[in-house]
Chain A
Amino acid sequence: MQLSRDDLLDAYRVMKTMREFDERLHVEFATGEIPGFVHLYCGEEASGAGICAHLDDRDHIASNHRGHGHCIAKGCDVPGMMAEIYGKETGLCGGKGGSMHIADLEKGMMGANGIVGAGTPLVCGAALSAKTLGTGGVAVAFTGDGGSNQGAVYESMNLAGVWTLPAIFVFENNGYGEASASSWATAGGSIAKRAEGFGIPFVTVDGADYFAVREAAGEAVARARAGEGPSVIECEMRRFYGHFEGDPQTYRTEDELAEVRERRDPIPRFTARVREAGLLEEDDFAAVDAEVAELIERAVAEAKAAKVPAVETLADHVYTSY
C-alpha cells in the first residue's frame, strides 16, 4: 500500500487529534466540570482513522458509547464536539446529546449511541438509502466486542447479507466489554468468524496497526461500492483507560496496563514505521502536534466559555411539528 505524504500527515493528524482530545478529557473530567459519563478511545485510534480514511461525504457511520474518535475521523467539528461534551448550547447537538449521543448528520455521522450494538440496524438503513438513491455511498457500523453479542447486530448482519447492502461492520475488540473479558464473553472464540455463517467476508486485523486496518478497510469499502455487499472487520486492540472515566479497572493487572501502553499504542507504531521508511520527519510530526495542541486548547477554552442551553429550549426538538 503506497500512501502519499499528505495521506500520512492526515492519518497522523486524525490519530493525534483523537488522542489529545480524549487525554484532555481524562484530565478535565476529573475536575468535575464535565457532566455525565465519558468513555475514552485512547489506544484504539488506528481503527477509526484507518477505516474512515476511505470514506467521504456520501458515506455514513454509526458509532457507540466510545465515539469521540469516530466523530473526529469522520470530520466532525472538534470545538463543537468538546462543547457538546460540556453540555453547552454551541455543541454539535446544542447540548442535548452529550458524549454518548454526539452526532453530525451533515458529516455522515449518525451518532454515538448509549445502547450497545444499536447502531448496526441504523447503518443498514443508511446503506439502504445509499443503494436506493444510488449515491454510491457506504455505511459503517462501529461496535465493540461487547456489542458483538447483541442480537440486533446479528439481525443486521443477516439483513445486510439478504439485501446485499453496502455496509461494513467493524468490531473494535478492545479486550473488555465493560469489566468482562471478551475472551470470556465470546463463545467460539472469534467475533469475526461469526460472519462466516452469514456468508459475509471477514478479516481480523491488529487494530493498533494503522496500515493493517486501512488495507482491510480498503477492500471492504471497495466491495461495498461495487455492489458486492457487506463485510466484517474485527480490530484487535486494547483500551488504555477503563470502561468509563472513574472505572478503577480492578479487573486488569498493572502489568497488563503497562504492556498495553508500551507495546500496543498505535501512534508510536505509526510514527516509527513512517520515520523508518523515510516518509515523514520529526519536524512534520512536531508541526502536526503543535496544530493539534492549539486546536484542543481552543476547543476546551471555547467549551468552558460557552453558554449552557436556555431552559426555554427544554421541549424543543421533540417533534418537527406537533
Chain B
Amino acid sequence: MTTSATTSTKPKTFRAAVNAALKQEMRRDERVIVMGEDVAGGQGGSAETEEAWGGPFGMTKGLIGEFGPGRVLDTPITEAAFVGAATGAAMTGLRPVVEIMFVDFMAVAFDQILNQMAKIKYMFGGKATLPITVRCLYGAGFRAGAQHSQCLYPMLTHVPGLKVAIPASPYEAKGMLAAAIRDDDPVFFFEHKATLGMREPVPEEEYVIPLGQARVMREGKDITIVAIGRMALFAAKAAEALAEEGIDCEVVDPRTTSPLDSEAILASVRKTGRLIVVDEAYPRCNMATDIAALAAQEAFRDLRAAPRMVSPPHTSVPFGGPLEDAYVPGPDRIADAVRAAMTDK
C-alpha cells in the first residue's frame, strides 16, 4: 500500500500533503468547507490581507484564494461554538473540515464533541448523517508545555460514534485525510507537530487509504511492535537497530484507533508470539493498555512473553528540555522493551 505506480510522485512534507488533500477534496465536492481559527487569518487586521497565515502552521495556506471566504471560514477563538456549528452544518447538508489548532483545545468544545457530535446519529435512531472531519495537532517534543502537547486520542477512541485517524507520515496523511473527509461519520484526524516538516514521496493523484486498515510497516518473525502515529516512525527506527542484533521485529501501524484493525494486530501477534505496544498518550487507559488487553484475551495461548507497554510516565507534559526529552518514548526505550520481551521465558 505504499507508493502506487505513478509518474507524478514528488517528495512532500506532511504539511503539504495535508494541504493537497484539503484542496483535492474541496475541488471534488463543493459541500466541503473548512473552518477554524485563522485558517486564513488576518480578518480585520491593519494589513488588509485576505490570508495572513493559512493557519498558524500554514496547513490551510492558499485555500481562501482558491475557494473564497464562503468555504474557508475564519472563526473567533470559540471552540464550543464552531465545533458545534460544524456539527449542525453537517446535519444540514455540508461536509465541514474543522481545525482545532491544538487537540488540547478540544476541552473547550467537549460537550459538543462528546454529547452532540458523537451521539446524534445514535440518539436519532440513525436518521442523521454527520460527515465532519476535525483536524488537530498533537504530541510532545515541541517545548510547548502541558496545554499544547497532549495526545488525547484515547479519550476520543473511548467514545462510540467518533472515528480516530492518526497518520504517521505524509503519504499516509494525504490518503487518510481524503478518506476522513469522504466518510459520513465524524473523524478526528491527528497531525503530530514534530512530523509536519517530514518529507516522503507522495503521489499527485487521488488515492484513499481506508479507515480501519492497519499497515505492516516492516515484516518480522520474532516480535510485534504496534506503534501509533509518530511512535510508528520511532518503532521502525528501533527495529532497524535491533535487526543488527539479530532481532527480527514486525512493526504494525494501526493507522486508526477507531475503528481498530484488531485482526491485523492479532494476526501479527499470533505469528511472532511477542508484543510491544508503543503509545505517546498518557499510560492509563491508553491504546497500549487497550491493545495489550486485546492480545491477552484473544491470543493468550500464542503469547510467549507478557505484552509490554511503552508510554510516557503518568504526568503532564513538562516544558523544560531535559524533562520533555525524558518524557517522550524514543527508539531507545522501545528497543529496551523489545530486548526485555525477548528474554522473557
Interface 1/0 per residue, B111-129 and A, CB below 8 Å: 1100110001111111111
Which residue from chain A places its CB closest to the CB of B80 in the assembled complex? Answer: A152
Chain A residues within 8 Å of B96, by CB? 125
Chain A interface (Cβ < 8 Å from any Cβ of B): 60, 62, 91-97, 101, 103-106, 110-111, 113-115, 118, 120-130, 132-133, 139, 151-152, 155-156, 158-159, 162-163, 316-322
Chain B residues within 8 Å of A319, by CB? 121, 161, 163, 185
Interface 1/0 per residue, B70-101 and A, CB below 8 Å: 11010110101111111111111110100000
Chain B residues within 8 Å of A95, by CB? 125
Contact, CB under 8 Å: B83 / A103: no
Contact, CB under 8 Å: B185 / A130: no
Chain A residues within 8 Å of B73, by CB? 128, 163
Chain A residues within 8 Å of B111, by CB? 115, 118, 152
Chain B residues within 8 Å of A152, by CB? 80-81, 84, 111-112
How distant is the Cα of A322 from the Cα of B75 in the complex, in angstroms? 31
**Interface residue B313 (Cβ < 8 Å from any Cβ of A):** no
Chain B residues within 8 Å of A317, by CB? 121-122, 124-126
How distant is the Cα of A110 from the Cα of B120 in the complex, in angstroms? 9
Q: How far is the CB of B97 from chain A (nearest CB, A)?
A: 13
Interface 1/0 per residue, B210-254 and A, CB below 8 Å: 001000000000000000000000000000000000000000000
Across chains A and B, which 5 residue pairs bring their CB atoms closest together, nearest first? A121-B84, A125-B88, A94-B125, A317-B126, A122-B88
Chain A residues within 8 Å of B129, by CB? 320
Interface size counted on chain B using CB atoms at 8 A: 45
Q: How far is the CB of A37 from chain B (nearest CB, A)?
A: 15
Q: How far is the CB of A62 from chain B (nearest CB, A)?
A: 7
Q: How far is the CB of A284 from chain B (nearest CB, A)?
A: 36
Chain B residues within 8 Å of A318, by CB? 121-122, 160-161
Partner of B86, one of A125, A162, A321: A125
Q: How far is the CB of B77 from chain A (nearest CB, A)?
A: 10
Contact, CB under 8 Å: A118 / B125: no
Q: How far is the CB of B64 from chain A (nearest CB, A)?
A: 15
Query: 16 new A-B pairs (CB below 8 Å) besides A316-B126, A317-B122, A320-B183?
Result: A60-B88, A60-B92, A92-B127, A93-B123, A93-B124, A105-B92, A111-B120, A118-B111, A121-B82, A121-B87, A123-B88, A125-B91, A127-B88, A317-B121, A318-B122, A318-B161
Given A114-B115, A158-B78: A129 touches B125 (CB 8 Å cut-off): no
Contact, CB under 8 Å: A155 / B128: no
Most buried by B among A60, A95, A118, A319: A319
Contact, CB under 8 Å: B76 / A158: yes
How distant is the Cα of A316 from the Cα of B111 in the complex, in angstroms? 23
Contact, CB under 8 Å: B83 / A129: no
Chain B residues within 8 Å of A128, by CB? 73, 85, 88-89, 94
Q: How far is the CB of B270 from chain A (nearest CB, A)?
A: 23
Contact, CB under 8 Å: A96 / B122: yes
Contact, CB under 8 Å: A94 / B88: no
Which residue from chain B places its CB closest to the CB of A114 in the assembled complex? Answer: B115
Chain B residues within 8 Å of A114, by CB? 115
Contact, CB under 8 Å: A129 / B88: yes
Given A115-B116, A152-B112: A121 touches B123 (CB 8 Å cut-off): no
**Interface residue B184 (Cβ < 8 Å from any Cβ of A):** yes
Contact, CB under 8 Å: B115 / A118: yes
Q: How far is the CB of B179 from chain A (nearest CB, A)?
A: 11
Partner of B123, one of A62, A103, A151: A103
Contact, CB under 8 Å: B88 / A124: yes
A to B CB contacts below 8 Å, 5 in the list: A91-B125, A124-B88, A125-B90, A132-B94, A152-B112
How distant is the Cα of A316 from the Cα of B94 in the complex, in angstroms? 24
**Interface residue B259 (Cβ < 8 Å from any Cβ of A):** yes
**Interface residue B33 (Cβ < 8 Å from any Cβ of A):** yes
Chain A residues within 8 Å of B92, by CB? 60, 105, 110, 125-126, 129-130
Contact, CB under 8 Å: B127 / A124: no
Q: How far is the CB of A36 from chain B (nearest CB, A)?
A: 13
Q: How far is the CB of A23 from chain B (nearest CB, A)?
A: 26
Chain B residues within 8 Å of A115, by CB? 111, 115-116
Contact, CB under 8 Å: B121 / A124: no
Which residue from chain A places its CB closest to the CB of B128 in the assembled complex? Answer: A105
Contact, CB under 8 Å: B121 / A320: yes
Q: How far is the CB of A34 from chain B (nearest CB, A)?
A: 17
Which residue from chain A places its CB closest to the CB of B86 in the assembled complex? Answer: A125
Q: Which of B120-154 contact A (CB under 8 A)?
A: 120-129
Most buried by B among A62, A106, A129: A129
Q: How far is the CB of A168 from chain B (nearest CB, A)?
A: 14
How distant is the Cα of A136 from the Cα of B129 in the complex, in angstroms? 22
Which residue from chain B places its CB closest to the CB of A106 in the assembled complex? Answer: B127
Contact, CB under 8 Å: A121 / B81: yes
Chain B residues within 8 Å of A322, by CB? 163, 185, 212, 259
Chain A residues within 8 Å of B128, by CB? 103, 105
Chain B residues within 8 Å of A96, by CB? 122-125
Contact, CB under 8 Å: A97 / B123: yes
Given A94-B126, A95-B125, A111-B124: A118 touches B84 (CB 8 Å cut-off): yes
How distant is the Cα of A319 from the Cα of B71 in the complex, in angstroms? 26
Q: How far is the CB of A156 from chain B (nearest CB, A)?
A: 5
Most buried by B among A93, A103, A125, A127: A125
How distant is the Cα of A156 from the Cα of B183 in the complex, in angstroms? 27
Q: How far is the CB of A57 from chain B (nearest CB, A)?
A: 12
How distant is the Cα of A126 from the Cα of B88 in the complex, in angstroms? 5
Chain B residues within 8 Å of A156, by CB? 81, 84-85
Q: How far is the CB of A162 from chain B (nearest CB, A)?
A: 6
Q: How far is the CB of B260 from chain A (nearest CB, A)?
A: 10
How distant is the Cα of A246 from the Cα of B92 in the complex, in angstroms? 36
